[in-house]
Amino acid sequence: MKLACFGAGRIGGVHARNAAAQQGVTLAALVDPIDTPQRAALAAETGAKITSTEEVFADASIDGIIIASSTNSHAGLLEQAADSGKAVFCEKPISLDFALTAAVVEKVEASGIPCMLGFQRRYDASFLAARQRIDSGVTGPIEQLSMWSRDPSPPPRSYVETSGGMFRDSTIHDADMLRFFLREEIASVYAVGACLISPEIGAAGDIDSLMITVTTVSGRQGQITACRRGPMGYDQRLEALCANEVLTIGNQPQSMLSVASPAGALQAAPENYFIERFAQAYRDEMAAFVAMIRDGTAPLAGIRDGYEAQRLVEAAIVSAKTGQPVQFGADWRP
């Protein structure tokens, strides 16, 4: 199997290395218009040829593409993949413009190409085990779902200005987890956002702190608390209050060593950031992409999941701007 990777940046490097490590897979091409030492090093490490978008889509021997380039390139590459019949793994979001997202999703689904979205938390062992335990029926239904998502430090202003904002860029992962666990139509969305930490982020027109509360059609509740800074490091936790059990996913420490003494107890800080915290999930996610192409195995996150997660954060953006809950449903559009 031959794959091509678009993007040689931080997340592109993760996906390119994981793809090259898959058994029976060759990373045949690497596409990034910016000539950097990082791009050259990634190509050398993975054995990929640095090439162009046109060459990738003209090469019939390439079975699938990985889209890990800048967000503004995702929609166009997805459309080209649909036209060429190549399987796709695409990082979120599909586009920063929801109307364009909807049009691209419609085209990709009509083409019938295998398509997977980059929601790696669905492949994390802890999140997956919680989902499977709920599916077994032993927990009873979820009544309340709470998530905490805090980065170790704010991103630079230059990143904020092109990322699409905290809701679309970061909180879309949490929105996907709401859907992954609640599995019921959401009736209302209420959100608040503020810039409490970084004046630079505020100057760029974005927020750095937010909370989202959703209610499903049966009255079940979900909440996201997110922030661009966590004093203790990368903070990624979940609690599901179910009828029979409470499921809790805590932070993953950098070391399993803990020290107890008369002075108290010490434990290692959480993993540095999402790359380290979800390292295995990223590997398993890429293995799932290969299995989708090779065996037709359905991925845990398809392009429709990307559409629905973005639809949810768009409702949260509307709520945060207006100060009012959004009456959400299957037909709601921004």
With a pLDDT cut of 90, the percent of the chain lying above it is: 99
User: Which ranges of the chain would DSSP assign to H, the alpha helix?
Assistant: 10-20, 37-46, 53-58, 74-84, 98-111, 125-136, 157-163, 166, 172-182, 199-203, 274-277, 279-295, 303-322
Q: What is the pLDDT of residue 61?
A: 98
Q: What is the pLDDT of residues 76-119, one digit of tens each?
A: 999 999 999 999 999 999 999 999 999 999 999 999 999 999 99
pLDDT tens sequence across 281-308: 999 999 999 999 999 999 999 999 999 9
* High-pLDDT (> 70) share of the chain, %: 100
Q: How confident is the model at residue 139 (pLDDT cuts 50, 70, 90)?
A: very high
**Mean confidence (pLDDT) of the chain:** 97
Q: What tokens does 189 get?
A: 């969305």
pLDDT value at residue 281: 99
Token pair 């990777």 in the structure block, residue: 5
Distance, in Å, from the CA atom of 121 to the CA atom of 275, rounded to the nearest integer, reads 11
Which pLDDT band, with edges at 50, 70 and 90, does 249 fall under?
very high
pLDDT, tens digit, for every residue of 178-200? 999 999 999 999 999 999 999 99
- pLDDT tens, position by position, 2-33: 999 999 999 999 999 999 999 999 999 999 99
Q: What is the pTM of this model?
A: 0.96
Counting every residue written for the chain, the total comes to 334
Residue 36 and residue 189: Cα distance in Å, rounded?
Answer: 43
pLDDT in tens, 140-149: 999 999 999 9
Task: Report pLDDT for 134.
Answer: 98
pLDDT at 147: 99
Measured CA to CA, the distance from residue 242 to residue 145 in angstroms comes to 9
Asked, as a colleague might, if the bond just before 93 is cis with ω within 30 of 0, I would say yes
Question: Are 5 and 16 spatial neighbours (Cβ–Cβ below 8 Å)?
Answer: yes
Walk me through the domains of the chain, giving residue ranges and CATH numbers. Answer: 2-113 (3.40.50.720), 121-273+302-327 (3.30.360.10)
For the chain, the first-to-last Cα distance in angstroms comes to 40
Round to whole Å and give the CA distance between 272 and 59. 39
What local confidence, expressed as pLDDT, does residue 295 receive? 97
